Amino acid sequence: MTTADNTPIPDYQKLLRLDGKNYIVLGAGQGMGRQTSHALKQVGAKVFCVDVDQQRADEIAAEVGGFGMVADCTQRSEVQKLVDAAEKQMGRIDGFVDIIGIATWAGIFDIDDKAWDSQFDLCLRHAYLASQIAGRRMKETGGGTMVFIASVSGLSAAPMHAAYGAAKAGLMAWVQSLAVELGPFQIRANAVAPGSTLTPRVKAMLIDSGRMESSIAAVPLGRVGTPDDIASAALFLSTPLSKHITGRTLVVDGGVDCKFPYS
């Protein structure tokens, strides 16, 4: 307490803890998902690790002492099963982090209906299903958090991967609607928009194409992002330290979108 301010001081370290909380990570098996699973575990949460590949799901579950399950999260029945299983294994569901999504590359005139539908399934449909199914459980138990991995491609032009950008833009709009509709039930929804991030797939692509140096040069902080950068943002948005933040998209790109021109 000071003369001018007697506002109570929170325990900020405690606000970073998730002791006794239960979280689902969708797309947990590698890259951002693996790092996020570890981040949640390290601050006390139990983690239910979901991946489309059984081996990856089992391996990350073993790493974090959690539970593993294979599921196709673009299918309502599969999402229902995984939410039921998570609740059975852990008890109530306090939140989830949805990291599913992959870009396919094609020019505007080369995108066919199958590719378009696939991008919206892989970047948006699972978010809609998880929000509905897990969200109902969180509403019944007094609240929780939803964090989705979006992309800077949904905030600006996405040349040669326009369907991906459109789907990610839709995801960020979905997050804002979730925040408004579910806020009265104490459910927070936010997104993280990574820039170029060295997941195993992207790292291999940049090395193979010889674009690693130019990618580094484009970033004001002097390095391409890493999966733990995204996991750190997802962790912040999952903890009480961000308790008054909802409906927002946090850009994690090392400052690239601050530059004009982008070169």
Q: Which CATH architecture has domain 20-199+226-253?
A: 3-Layer(aba) Sandwich (3.40)
Is 114 one of the annotated active-site residues of the chain? no
pLDDT at residue 262 tops 90: no
Residue ranges covered by each domain of the chain: 20-199+226-253
Check 168, 196, 215, 238 and give the catalytic one.
168
Specify burial of residue 96 (Cβ count, 10 A radius: 0-12, 13-18, 19+): buried
Band (46; pLDDT cuts 50, 70, 90): very high
Is 139 one of the annotated active-site residues of the chain? no
- Over residues 78-86, the mean pLDDT reads 98
Check 23, 41, 46, 164 and give the catalytic one.
164
Check 131, 151, 153, 238 and give the catalytic one.
151
The whole-chain average pLDDT of the chain stands at 95
- Higher-confidence residue: 96 or 211? 96
Torsion of CA 118, 121, 124, 130, to 10 degrees: -160
Is 151 one of the annotated active-site residues of the chain? yes
